[in-house]
Structure 1
Amino acid sequence: MVMLFTACGSQITDDVLEEIDPPQIDYIEDEDELEVEVMDQDVDDGQISSITDDMDDAEEPMDEEGAEEKGGPVTVDEELHELYLVDRNGMVAPQTMNMLMPEDKLTALVEHLVQEGPVTEQLPNGFQAVLPPETEVLGVKVKNGVATIDLNESFTDYHPSQEMQILQSITWTLTQEEEVDRVKLSINGEELAAMPQNDTPIGEGYTRGHGINLEVNDQADLVSTSPVVVYFLSQTDDQTYYVPVTRRVDQQDDLYEAVINELLEGPSYTSQLLTDFRQEVALIEEPDLDNGTLTLNFNEALLSQLQGTAISENVLNMLVLSLTEQEEIESVSLMVDSESAIMMSNGESLTEPVVRPNQVNVGQF
């Protein structure tokens, strides 16, 4: 399992697309791994390890039997949910929080994305909700996988530079729920064909396929390329969290190898993101998918910790989070020079496939 930390920092940037002078890619020095605790946990069949999060420190669910609304009892449960918030660098990133959830869960999730709303007291330092203050959620209806969110006119009071952040935040927050595949918006019951400020098309609904924290080259051929999501790191002081980024890769390339190549390429020069991969890391065989488990065989450069004998937990997490974005991949199995027994930097042995965590970037409660 993984304990993933939230970050602290300053306020968000207004325009994530603003070009800056390119610095060098920030690589974490060998042996100076970011502090993220990883623990192994076996599932029922005893065959698969997980980088799921340590919940021992979570508070016990609050007793809300006495809560009332409009004179009647309200059923409220405390659950962990990912909210996609904006960090100090203008990146949309998941933060897992413990929230009291009424029966109308989807409405509550959107309400937690409103600035000065119910999420305010729980916001990690450096993070901000995306919807303008005084935005009201008038209702959320789901039909055939499409969630239509009805908002009041205050929703339109956002800065134009934040339009993509808002769309991505709402979409990625709601589509974590099994019944939601895409998101539509309406204002006072009137459905929007495009966003109010920059006219970003919504069409038949916004999906995760539209991407998050988009890095699209002006010369990219959208017809012959496909989007992939890869996860990099962001760090403030001694805290780290994982940030998803969408890039486009050639459709003729092996998809899984393309994802790995994007990870090895590292974060954009214009971002503040980090990587824990050494520059010498390379695959020595093509990825092999068998019954939901993707097997990867790397060279010895993958072992960057404990004097070149262990794998970084951050590298493991970045691989698993990025590759399991592909629906057909359920777990990832690693090999180094065809050896399957790999030591992790916490001293544990990694001998079984690793599955995706239920939540990403779980903070302290």
Structure 2
Amino acid sequence: MTLAAATNENLAQFSNSLIYASMAVFTLAFFAHIAEWVFGSRSKVGRTAAALTGAGTAAAASAAPAVKVRQEGGGTAVLDKPKIVTRSAAGTRDVPDGPGAAGGTVKGDLYGRIAVSLTVLAFLIEASGVVTRAVAVQRAPWGNMYEFSTTFSTVAVGAYIGFLLARKNVRWIGLPLVTTVLLDLGVAVTWLYTKSDQLVPALHSYWLWIHVSTAIFCGAVFYLGAVGTLLYLFRDSYENKLARGGNPGPFARSVLERLPAAASLDKFSYRINAAVFPLWTFTIIAGAIWAGDAWGRYWGWDAKEVWSFITWVAYAAYLHARATAGWKGRKAAYIGLAAFACFLFNYYGVNIFVNSLHSYAGV
């Protein structure tokens, strides 16, 4: 039996259709998230400003009510209250979290729930496409960059949904997440698409399931941490401007005030990166063991191996910086973003621009 005969082309085409269908639903989710931000209330700066100025704790407390209630069409809608940060992970300030992307309004919250529902539906469709691809080729569905990309975005959305199910205040991730997923899938189906086929002999190993799956999971969760870090930098600048008595512009008043406090975003990113870092360490070790089985050496300074190690060093530096006085907050955030940039280059740059033993995973 030939290698081509081992692939079910009908299932492979069905998998492609599911990926395209998920992109269509993600697009609807994107517009729903846009509506959530646009039609949510134009949040005022009073809550954060009160916590940062002489208005005092009482003003901050009154600006962040226990429960936000809004009458709409004769009915009563109860929305979650913003949580109060009691200790800043960056060691800077205590500021109440914003109410989220919806801005605390019933209309914004409705669009937000629609966006989340569409995101869940798109996730289920995309996950079905990934599973169908696996059945079609009778192997793990991450033997090339196209398969890696579709699985990567699926896991990233799944992690986001997991945080939502755990009742974490992460709806603010929705818009950047869906935007990134659409870009990822667009690149995958346009430039990275690879026909369903069997693997080269070196990849016929159970380590494919272990090593690559953990790499995908780590990258997807690192991505969520990078989003939190990037938004932390914007929110921190916003809070600093308020603390100096400045007057933020319309963008800050309508968008940044709705985000969690800078300390909350900082803590969110740190906890995610710290939790996933040991698994990334295992990913590198598993890859070395697999290399020993496949190529007869555990480490050969191949480009993919080197950049995996560079990524590990960068995240180790980030975690070390967070534990070292004077390297918290923005400085550590820059290191965290640089670490994620290393991961992205390891995935895209090495596979596309560098010849290595991992070239079989290229486009």
Shorter-chain TM-score category? Answer: under 0.3
* TM-score normalised over the length of structure 2: 0.24
TM-score normalised per structure 1? 0.24
Structure of higher CA gyration radius:
2
Structure with greater strand percent: 1
The structure with the greater share of residues assigned to helix is: 2
